[in-house]
Structure 1
Amino acid sequence: MTESRKTRSAGPLTYRGDAIPETTTDQRLLDRRGPADWVHTDPWRVLRIQSEFVEGFGLLSEVGHAVSVFGSARTKPGTHFYELGQEIGTKLAASGYAVITGGGPGVMEAANRGAQDVDGTSIGLGIELPFEQGLNDFIDIGVTFRYFFVRKTMFVKYSRAFVVLPGGFGTLDELFESITLVQTGKVTRFPVVLVGTRFWSGLRDWIRDTLLEEGTISPGDPELMYLTDDPDEVVEIVRKSHVDLARREFEAGQVADEAADLHAAEEASESS
């Protein structure tokens, strides 16, 4: 007969034999002299992740209609795309949309700055990085996340559209993740607008000439992205998509008061 091993229960966990910790959970909690390694363990990370979702949802839940603007952190003030990002931020805010960016410098700063220029709502969702960056000075509401996937959830959940100016790997990551979510129906279809025809046309052509030609995407997939150089067209694409969605919700009878108001406003506009 096998000798019964010593057992200790700790909440839902069971330890036996050599796996039993030398101290109890209460002892490790109350003994300030112990090591701090516990804050880096996976169960503790789950609580950190949860807290980041709670903070993000709490911060953005009452923001209203918003548009996320992406682009390079390396774009300098005074350059074409910085000024274009600032103009887009201004026009979006003037049209009633909060402007959400990654909170950093470059294009992100430009869009936040443009929103502030017209007293719009300027939001920055930063990320903890190995090198110092911090939130730019043109943000009214800001939070810095530890985890990329939590931050990405906030971008998608609270945005009516993505506006993507020239950028590097981080910008491409956000672009393709948003396209994938739209393509697979994980999010309600919203526009993804690429700003800078010269910069993005090569990528668009490669998608059409290679991915579509090889059959790795569907015929309608390239049309998930709009391409323009005109800030006014950016706002019009966002606005039209917003109103069209409200109309579909209205006609389906799955409509909030806000969508009904949008539908009525659009009908009035068309009849005037």
Structure 2
Amino acid sequence: MPDTDTPKPHPAHPVRRECDLPWTCPKPDRDDPRASGMVGAILRSPEYRQADEDVDFLHRYEMRGLRLHLDFDKAESLLTAQGIAHSIVVIGSTRVPEPEAARRALAAFEADRTQAGATPEIERRVRIARRVLDKSRFYEIAQDFGRIVGRSEGPNGQRLALVTGGGPGMMEAANRGAHDVCARTVGLNITLPHEQYPNPYLTPGLCLRFHYFAIRKLHFLKRARALVVFPGGFGTLDELFETLTLIQTRKIAPVPVILVGETFWRGVFDPEFLVDEGVIDPEDRDLFWFAESAQEIWEDIQRWYDRCGRSLTG
């Protein structure tokens, strides 16, 4: 018969032990005077680092697939946890500041011209500064649009998040508008060889930084309900034409694509020429349109969804 008087043991502590295991202390020097030095060398070697704590290992070429995965997963987890389900994406030049800053820049170049004389290079800088000052009106339009998006509210209190690349210029303006009305606003920064800073109007905790342009582009469009494109250069054109290609091929469901400032965009490219040359179809020309004011942009987006019978936040 079993001994029923033997007390049952308590559950083991999940971490603590009553007796240390043999490997909790290194081999003592009294047994081998070389022991502590040899163990120290092992502990200091990069190969001993745990894989997820070994930054040098994670940066190796063969770990690129894992880095791509991490680049996607961190943003996905954070945006999901913050309840960012639907967004309006705003892109545009980082080189077009608010009007007052543009006026200061022009004044500085004009002062240089007065002091040094009208050299061809100074005349070029003055001419460009005047063009930038003219385009600075788009900063105010982007800021107004950010305020509109920030105040918007869909069914059941669902809110649209305003998302930009997190940099200065047009993106700063849109984030600033949302910030003005105390709305959450998102920035998707990218790591570049030269130092950069996010604009100050992003919501802390919602400014993310990516290593890979591809993953950043994915997150721009994954939750996007519209793409609003202000005047810009190579980066702006990259995002614009990639989005149009994805919609053209139906790799993503169509969304409104609005180009702000028709005169600027007519100078950048000629879609009618592309149609006439047979390299795009007439229907591809209708994948985007132009607008001139924040209110017009917003009304166009709402009208597009009404015509589709879809909810902007659904």
TM-score class, shorter-chain normalisation, is 0.7 to 0.9
Paired residues for 1:72-151 under 5 Å: 72-78=93-99, 79-96=136-153, 97-140=160-203, 141-151=206-216
> In the TM superposition, what whole-angstrom CA distance separates every residue of 1:245-265 from its partner, at most 9, and x where no partner exists?
4x369xxxxxxxx74xxxxxx
Work out the percentage of aligned pairs sharing the same amino acid. Answer: 41
**SS of 1:162's equivalent?**
strand
- Output one character per residue of 1:120-164: Cα deviation in whole Å (capped at 9) or x when no partner: 221000000111112111001110101000000000101101000
Aligned counterpart, 2:292: 229
Gaps of 5+ in 1: 1-26, 250-257, 260-272
Bigger-Rg structure (1/2) = 2
Equivalent residues of 1:88, 1:111 under 8 A apart: yes
| Structure 2 residue runs without a partner (length 5+) | 1-44, 100-135, 154-159
For the pair 1:159 / 2:219, whether they are aligned, the reply is no
Q: CA–CA distance in 1 between the matches of 2:250 and 2:219? A: 17
1:31 to 1:199, Cα distance in 2 relative to 1, 3 A: closer
Q: Is residue 58–residue 67 contact of structure 2 (8 Å, CA) maintained in 1?
A: no
Residue 226 (structure 2) pairs with residue 207 (structure 1): no
Greater fraction of residues in strand: 1
* Letter matched to residue 45 of structure 1: R
The count of aligned residue pairs is 220
- Tell me the distance in 2 between the aligned counterparts of 1:144 and 1:36: 17
TM-score normalized by the length of structure 2:
0.66
In the alignment, the residues of structure 2 paired with residue 98 and residue 219 of structure 1 have an alpha-carbon distance, to the nearest angstrom, of 32
Query: Judging changes above 3 Å, is the alpha-carbon distance between structure 1 residues 75 and 44 closer, same or farther for their aligned structure 2 residues?
Result: same
**Match for residue 71 of structure 1?**
92
Q: Return the alpha-carbon distance in structure 2 between the equivalents of residues 237 and 74 of structure 1.
A: 27
Higher mean alpha-carbon deviation, 178-187 vs 37-46, is at: 37-46
Structure scoring higher RCO (CA < 8 A, sep ≥ 6) equals 2
| Cα shift at 1:207 | 1.5
Between the aligned partners of 1:213 and 1:31, the Cα distance in structure 2 is 61
1:214 and 1:85, CA in 2 relative to 1: closer, same or farther beyond 3 A? same
Pair 1:126–1:241, CA change in 2 (3 A): same
User: Does the residue aligned with 1:220 lie in a helix, a strand or coil?
Assistant: helix
> SS of the residue aligned with 1:126?
strand
Residue by residue, what CA displacement relative to the aligned partner does 1:20-54 show, whole Å, maximum 9, x if unpaired? xxxxxxx963169xx98644323312111111111
User: Please, what TM-score do these two structures have when normalized by structure 1?
Assistant: 0.75
Counterpart of 2:66 in structure 1 is 47
2:48 paired residue among 21, 30, 35: 30
Shift in alpha-carbon separation, 1:43–1:202, aligned structure 2, 3 A: same
Say which is worse superposed, 165-174 or 129-138, in terms of deviation: 129-138
The offset of 1:59, in angstroms, is 2.2
